Amino acid sequence: MTGADLRARLRGNLVAGNLVAHAVLLMGTALFLLPIWLVFVGSTLDSGAINRGDIGLLPRLEGLAIYPRLLSPAPGGVPVWRMLALSFAMALAIAAGKIAVSLLSAYAVAFFRFPGRMLCFWLLFITLMLPVEVRIIPTFAVVADFGMVNTFAGLVLPLTASATATLLFRQAFVLVPDELVEAARMDGAGPWRFLRDVLIPLSRTNMAALFVILFVYGWNQYLWPLVVATDPRLDTITVGIVRMIGPESRTAWNEVMATAILAMLPPTLVVLAMLRWFVKGLTESER
Amino acid sequence: MAGLVLDQVRKSFGRTEVLRGIDLDVAPGEMVVVVGASGCGKSTLLRLVAGLEQPSSGRIMLDGEDITARDPAARDIAMVFQHYALYPHMSVFDNMAYGLKVRRLPRAEIAARVEEAAQMLHISPLLGRKPRELSGGQRQRVAIGRAVVRKPRLFLFDEPLSSLDARLRTSMRAEIKRLQRRLGVTSLYVTHDQHEAMSLGDRILVLNEGRPAQLGPPMEIYARPADTAVAELIGDPPMNLLPGWLDANGRVRLETGDAGNGRSVLVGIRPEDVAGGRPDGDGLALGFTPDTVEPMGAEVLLVGRLETGAAFSVRTLPASFALGSRLDFHCPAQRLHLFDPGSGQRIGPAGPAAR
Amino acid sequence: MERRTIFPGWATPALLLVPQMALTVLLFLWPTAVAVRASVMRADPFGLSETFAGLDNFTALFTDPLYLAAIGRTLVFCGAVTGLALGLAVLLAVFADADIRGRGAYRAALVWPYAVAPAAAGVIWALLLHPQIGGVAGLLKHLGIAWNYKLNDTQAMIAVVGASAWRQVSYNFIFVLAGLQSIPRTIIDAARMDGARGWRRFRTILLPMLAPTLAFLVVVNLVYSAFETFGTIEALTQGGPGRATQTLMVKVYRDGVVNLDLGASAAQSVVLMALVMGLTALQFHFLRRRGGR
CATH number where B213 lies: 3.40.50.300
pLDDT score for A285: 55
Q: Which residues contact B316 (CB under 8 A, 6 or more apart)?
A: B274, B275, B276, B299, B300, B302
pLDDT interval class at C268 (50, 70, 90) = confident
**No. of helices (H) and no. of strands (E), chain A:** 16, 0
Please enumerate in sequence order all residues whose Cβ is within 8 A of that of A238, keeping only pairs 6 or more positions apart, or say none.
A87, A219, A220, A221, A222, A225, A263, C117, C119, C120, C231
Q: Is A228 exposed, middle or buried (0-12, 13-18, 19+ CB in 10 A)?
A: buried
Mean pLDDT of chain A: 83
Q: Which of A51-65, B132-146, C58-72 has the lowest mean pLDDT?
A: A51-65
Q: What is the pLDDT of residue B333?
A: 85
C-beta separation of B39 from B19 below 8 A:
no
User: Could you tell me which residue, B8 or C41, shows the higher pLDDT?
Assistant: B8
Backbone angles phi, psi at B83, to 5 degrees: -105, 35
**pLDDT at C204 exceeding the cut of 90:** no
Say if domain C64-292 classifies as CATH 3.40.1160.10.
no
Q: How far apart are alpha carbons B109 and B106 in whole angstroms?
A: 5
B327 bridge partner residues: B288
At residue B352, the pLDDT reads 44
Q: What is the pLDDT of residue A139?
A: 86
pLDDT tens per residue, range A163-222: 778 888 888 888 889 999 999 999 988 899 999 999 999 888 888 888 988 999 999 999
Q: How many Cβ pairs closer than 8 A exist between chain A and B? A: 59
Reference C236, options C149, C168, C165, C154; nearest CA is: C149
Question: Does residue A249 register a pLDDT over 60?
Answer: no
| Residue B85 covered by a domain | yes
For C240, phi then psi, to 5°, come to -95, -170
Is pLDDT above 90 for C288? no
Furthest-apart CA atoms within chain A: distance in Å: 81
pLDDT for position A170: 85
Which ranges of C26-129 would DSSP assign to H, the alpha helix? 30-39, 56-63, 65-96, 103-111, 118-128
Q: Which residues 6+ apart lie within 8 Å of C170 measured at CB?
A: A32, C89, C110, C111, C112, C113, C114
Residue in chain A closest to C172 (alpha carbons) equals A283
pLDDT at A4: 55
What would the mean pLDDT of A272-280 be, rounded to a whole number? 80
Say how many residues make up chain A: 287
> Residue A141 and residue C265: Cα distance in Å, rounded?
12
B179 and B246 fall within a common domain: no
- Among B176, B196, B225, give the residue marking a domain's end: B225
Check CB contact under 8 Å for B89 and A201.
yes
Residues of C in contact with A105 (CB under 8 A): 16-17, 19-21
* Distance (Å) of CA A134 to CA A90, A129, C265: 21, 10, 11
A80-244 has CATH 1.10.3720.10 classification: yes
Flag if A188 and B99 touch (Cβ within 8 Å). Answer: yes
Nearest to B238 by CA among B9, B33, B3, B37: B37
Mean pLDDT, residues B221-250: 88
**Mutation for B interface: A178, A185, A186, most B CBs within 10 A:** A186
Q: Which residues of A touch B (CB under 8 A)?
A: 177, 179-180, 182-190, 193, 197-198, 201-202, 204
* Minimum mean pLDDT range among A151-160, B259-268, B330-339: B259-268
Same domain, B243 and B187: no
pLDDT for C169 beyond 90: yes
pLDDT at A287 over 50: no
pLDDT given for residue A247 in this prediction? 61
**Domains of chain C by residue range:** 64-292
Considering only the beta carbons, identify the residue of A29, A158, A272 that sits closest to C106.
Answer: A29
Q: Is the pLDDT of residue A1 over 70?
A: no
DSSP secondary structure string for all residues of B99-141: HHHHTT--HHHHHHHHHHHHHHTT-GGGTTS-GGGS-HHHHHH
Q: Which range (A221-235, B65-79, C180-194) has the least confidence?
A: C180-194
- Starting at the edge strand that comes first in sequence, how are the strands of the sheet with B57-62 ordered? B16-26, B4-13, B57-62, B65-66
Percentage of chain A beyond pLDDT 70 is: 87
Judge if B285 and B163 occupy the same domain.
no
Q: How confident is the model at residue B355 (pLDDT cuts 50, 70, 90)?
A: very low
pLDDT at C267: 85
Cross-chain residue pair A287–C95, CB shorter than 8 Å: no
Higher-scoring residue by pLDDT: C261, A146:
A146
Distance from CA of C76 to the nearest CA of A (A): 19
Provide the residue ranges of all domains of chain A, joining segments of one domain with +.
80-244
pLDDT in tens, B136-176: 899 999 999 999 999 999 999 999 998 888 888 888 999 99
pLDDT of residue B260: 65
Task: Choose between C14 and A9: higher pLDDT.
Answer: C14
pLDDT tops 70 at residue B349: no
Banded model confidence at residue C292, pLDDT cuts 50, 70, 90:
very low
Closest CA to A102 of A214, A178, A270, A217: A214
pLDDT reported for residue B353 = 37
Question: Measured between alpha carbons, how far is residue A141 from residues A137, B278, B282, C33 in Å?
Answer: 6, 100, 99, 11
Residue B212, beta-bridge partner list: B207
Residues of A in contact with C14 (CB under 8 A): 108, 114
Which range of residues forms the domain containing residue B133? Answer: 4-225
In this structure, are B35 and B175 located in the same domain? yes
Question: What contacts B53, CB < 8 A, 6 or more positions away?
Answer: B11, B44, B47
Binned at pLDDT 50, 70 and 90, residue B309 comes out as confident
In 3D, which of A33, A51, A219 has the Cα closest to residue C127?
Answer: A51
Q: Is residue B145 part of a domain?
A: yes
User: Which run of H or E residues covers position B62?
Assistant: strand B57-62
Residue type (1 letter), C258: V
* Mean pLDDT within C234-247: 86
pLDDT above 80 (res B124): yes
Note the pLDDT of residue C2: 65
Task: Tell whether the model's pLDDT for residue B1 goes beyond 60.
Answer: no
Could you tell me if residue B120 is inside a domain? yes
Residue of B57, B61, B66 whose CA lies nearest to B8: B57
Q: Cα-Cα-Cα-Cα dihedral of A182, A183, A187, A192, to 10°?
A: -60
- Give pLDDT, residue A74: 64
Per-residue model confidence (pLDDT) at position C136: 82
Q: Do both B116 and B13 map to the same domain?
A: yes
Single out the residue in B193, B225, B257 at which a domain terminates.
Answer: B225
- Tell me if chain A has a CB within 8 Å of the CB of C284: no
Q: How confident is the model at residue C285 (pLDDT cuts 50, 70, 90)?
A: confident
This prediction has a pTM of 0.82
- Cα dihedral across residues A167, A169, A170, A174: positive or negative: positive
Query: SS3 for B307?
Result: coil
Calculate the average pLDDT of chain B. 89
Q: Cα separation of A211 and C81, whole Å?
A: 28
Closest residue on chain A to B76 (Cα)? A186
Give the largest CA-CA distance in chain C. 77
Closest listed residue to residue A35, CA positions, set C89, C106, C122, C128: C128
Average pLDDT (A50-71) is 79
Q: How confident is the model at residue A195, as a pLDDT?
A: 93
**How close A51 gets to chain C, by Cα (Å)?**
5
Same domain, B117 and B261: no
Half-sphere exposure of B163 (CA within 13 A, CB side): 16
| Tally of structural domains, chain B | 2
* Pick from B5, B146, B110: nearest CA to B64: B5
